[in-house]
Amino acid sequence: MIRTVFATTTCLLLALPALADERGRYVYADFEASVPHIDLETCPTGLAEGDVICRVTMNDDGLHVYVFEADGARPFVSVHSYFEEDFELVLK
């Protein structure tokens, strides 16, 4: 499963130009349909400014947070990767 997510994410990143909208932007609808992910209620503090939404994927080596604009076609803004030494999971 994890390798499938990693392979899917890698293929998606390589295919970004092919999945661009009419303005040449990668948009959330393409990501939503093709990448297994978890919707974050709010974006991590300091990750992005403005009205954005964040989604997270996991693979063998870390968590990857994708940031998209919240309005219009929701174009891709950035991706931030976190590895084992960058975070700690706490169960409550």
Residue 21: the pLDDT is: 52
- In order, the DSSP letters of 21-32 are -TTS-BBHHHHH
Which tokens go with 32?
A: 């939503």
Residues of the chain above pLDDT 90, percent: 52
Q: Determine the average pLDDT of the residues in 50-59.
A: 94
Q: What is the pTM of this model?
A: 0.70
Evaluate whether 54 touches 43 at the Cβ level (below 8 Å).
Answer: yes
